[in-house]
Amino acid sequence: MRRWMPSPALSAGLLLMWLLLNQSLEPAHWLMGVFLGIVAPLLARPLQPQGYARIRKPLALFRLLGLSLIEIVRSCLNVGQIILFRRSEGVNSQFIRVPLDLRDPHGLALLSCLINTTPGTVWAEIIPDRHELLLHIFDLQEEQWWIDTIKNNYERPIIEVFESGVPAGRKEGA
C-alpha cells in the first residue's frame, strides 16, 4: 500500500483538484482523477529528497489553520488602517530575531507560509549556526509579545502536528 501510494493525502488532493477543475462527477472524470492521484505522486517522488510529509495529527493541523485564518483577517484590518491613516515615518518597521526549536523541514515550510500569509510579518531568513529566525515586522510595538505569539500560537502546534512521534528530549540531545 505504502509503496504504490506514498502519500494518501496528496492523492486525495489531486483527485479533488481534478473533479473541481472539470466541475462534474461523471465516472470518466473519477477514473482520470484516480489515475492522476496514483501516478503523479510516484513520478514526483524522486524530486523530493526529504520524502513526503507525515502528518501525525490532522485535527491539530485544521485547528491551527482555522486560528491563523482569524489572525490573517485581524492583521489585514490592522495593516489597512496603518496604511490609510498613519504617516509613514511614525511606523516602527524593524527586524527581530526569534529563536526556534522546530527542526522538521516540512514544519518549517508550513511555519514560513503561515507567517508570510499574515500581513504585517515577512520571513527573511534562518540564521544557520544559531537556528534563529530573522523576521520583519511592519509595526513593532513590543518585541517580546511577537516572540511569545509565534512560539506559542504557531510553533508549538506545528511541532505537535509533525514531530509528536519523537520525544522532545532525545531530539535536543542528538
Partner 1 sequence: MMNVADTLPWWAALPVAFLLILGGVITVTGAAGLLRLKNFYQRIHGPAITVTLGAGCFLIASMIYFTVLQSRLVIHELLISVFVLMTAPVVAMMIMRAAIYRDRRSRDLTKLAGEREEV
Q: Which stretches of the chain bind partner 1, using CB under 8 A?
A: 17, 20-21, 23, 72-73, 76, 79-80, 83-84, 88-89, 91, 93, 112-120, 122-125, 136, 138
**Least spacing, CB of residue 117 vs partner 1, in Å:** 5
**Least spacing, CB of residue 72 vs partner 1, in Å:** 6
Q: Which is nearer to partner 1, 48 or 164 (CB)?
A: 48
Cα separation, 139 vs 141, whole angstroms: 6
Q: Which is nearer to partner 1, 81 or 164 (CB)?
A: 81
Q: Which is nearer to partner 1, 94 or 152 (CB)?
A: 94
**Least spacing, CB of residue 165 vs partner 1, in Å:** 26
Local structure of 161: helix, strand or coil: helix
DSSP string, 106-148: HHHHHHHHHHHHSTTEEEEEEETTTTEEEEEESS-S-HHHHHH
Beta bridge partners of 94: 137
Residue with cell 510595538: 141
